[in-house]
Every structure is written in C-alpha cells, then in structure tokens.
Amino acid sequence: MVGKFIAWLLRKAGFVYVTEEAFNAHNEAVTKMVLRNKEADFWLKESLRQLNDKVRPLEDRIQHLNEKLVEMDGVICTTMECVEEIRDTQQTAAPTRQIIENAFGEMLNEYLYGYQQKRSDDE
C-alpha cells in the first residue's frame, strides 16, 4: 500500500516509469543492502574488539618494558659513574702504587742483602 502511494507520488513528480513493483524491488534491494551493511558493521566491530583484546596485553607488555628500560638506564648511568670513579681512583693510585712497589723493592733488597751478609758472616 505504501509502495503504491510512493510510486504514485514519483509518477506525479515526473518519473513516468516508476511502478509499484519497481519501487518494491528497489526498496527490497535497499533493505538487503542495509542488512548487509549492518552485518558488515557487526563483524567489523567484532573484529576490532578481538584486535583490541590482542593489542591490550601487548600495550601492557610495552609499558612494562618501557619501565624496565628506564630502570636499566638508571643502572647503566650508575654503573658508568662507578666506572669513572674507579678510573679516577686508579689514576690517582698509580703513583702511590709505584711508591709502595719501590719501597717494598728496596726493603726486599735490604733484607736479601742483610740475609746474604749474615750467611757470609756465618761461614
């Protein structure tokens, strides 16, 4: 009934070849297209939901790794500071070490010389 009325309106507007059957066929095609679009929309939303379910744990993992990276950056900076301190200490200690080695060498030489003198005196 509605199709007949709309077909009559279209004919009055100048669309001579519009019949009720043509309008109903067009209306049916549009209805099928709308249903297909709704189904496609549903599956698109479902696919997006599934992707979000898969992406969310990845985002959480990336966040966790970023936090670990910040921690490791702090550890690396601290380690580099320690390495610099060790280098500074080694450079500062090098002359002191040389002095100690020289003094120890002199003491050892004096001891060995004294030991040899004592053995010679004993003989």
Q: Tens digits of per-residue pLDDT, 60-70?
A: 999 999 999 88
- pLDDT of 18: 59
What is the average pLDDT value for the chain, to the nearest integer?
82
Dihedral pair phi/psi, residue 14, rounded to 5°: 115, -5
Q: How many CB atoms are located within 10 Å of the residue 26 CB?
A: 14
User: Could you tell me if 24 and 6 are in contact, meaning their C-beta atoms sit under 8 angstroms apart?
Assistant: no
- pLDDT of 64: 93
pLDDT confidence tier of residue 123, bands split at 50, 70 and 90? low
Integer Cα distance of 111 and 123 in angstroms: 18
pLDDT at 45 over 90: yes
Region 38-42: mean pLDDT is 91
Q: What is the pTM of this model?
A: 0.38
- pLDDT of 44: 92
Percent of the chain with pLDDT over 70: 89
Tell me how far apart the terminal alpha carbons of the chain are, to the nearest angstrom: 144
